[in-house]
Structure 1
Amino acid sequence: MKGMMGGMAGLMKQANQMQMKMKKLQEELATREFNGTSGGGAVKATVNGENKILSLTIDPEVLKAGDAEMLQDMVISALNDALKTAKDTSSQEMSKITGGMSLPGF
């Protein structure tokens, strides 16, 4: 029975270390910037790992076209591109820590 308890304690220690690594990674990802573009670079968006929009750049040439609907679509597309990059990067980094195990809440 003692060996089983030692194994359980080891697992708990590993789980705690994994949780600490994941927390540290989340903090690090929150400060990273992720870029997205649309319209061949006419619209550029930057978000951070907390999904906050940091910047949005629109090429003045796009404004000259006067097509508000097209501009709205390009802005949404650029933002979604940046958010997808942030999410994909976060998932990849987390799976390095968890070894591919999915953990609830992360």
Structure 2
Amino acid sequence: MMRGMGNMQNMMKQMKKMQAQMTAEQAALNETTFTGTAPDDMVKVTVSGEKKVQDITINPAAVDPDDVDMLQDLVLAAVNDALAQVDAKTQSTMGKYTKGLQ
């Protein structure tokens, strides 16, 4: 056997182990839920780690037929808050695997 083959096999084992860890962590992240809120908790939006909206709760006080624009803004704020949480968690969880990669 040529010198270096052991190193190559060792490196392949390490890569497979890291890939399994990445897959497990991604699956756990996908199962996690994130709740974004608008100011004063007027609107709450729950999304999965896969960025799928699972629930929207609207405080009745936020419903003003004469100001639908405000309600739309509250929903957008809550959705964007939840998605930002998913992005932050994804970066903190999965970022360690992509450090140094372009």
Where on the TM-score scale, by shorter chain, does this alignment land: which range? 0.7 to 0.9
The CA deviation at 1:78 is 0.6
Within 2, Cα distance between the matches of 1:66 and 1:8?
68
Query: For 1:64, what is the secondary structure of its paired residue?
Result: coil
Give the drift of 1:99.
7.4
Matched residues, percent identical? 38
Code of the aligned partner of 2:21: K
* Deviation at residue 35 of structure 1 after TM alignment: 1.0
Unaligned runs of 5+ in 1: none
**Aligned residues of 1:95 and 1:101 also touching (Cα < 8 A):** no
Shift of 1:67: 1.1
Structure 2: state its 5+ residue gaps: none
- Indicate the RMSD between aligned Cα atoms, in angstroms: 1.9
Q: The residue matched to 1:45 in structure 2 has which SS?
A: strand
Q: TM-score, normalised by structure 2?
A: 0.87
Give structure 1 regions of 4+ aligned residues with deviation exceeding 2 angstroms.
98-103
Q: Work out the number of aligned pairs and report it.
A: 101
Structure 2 residue identity aligned to 1:93: T
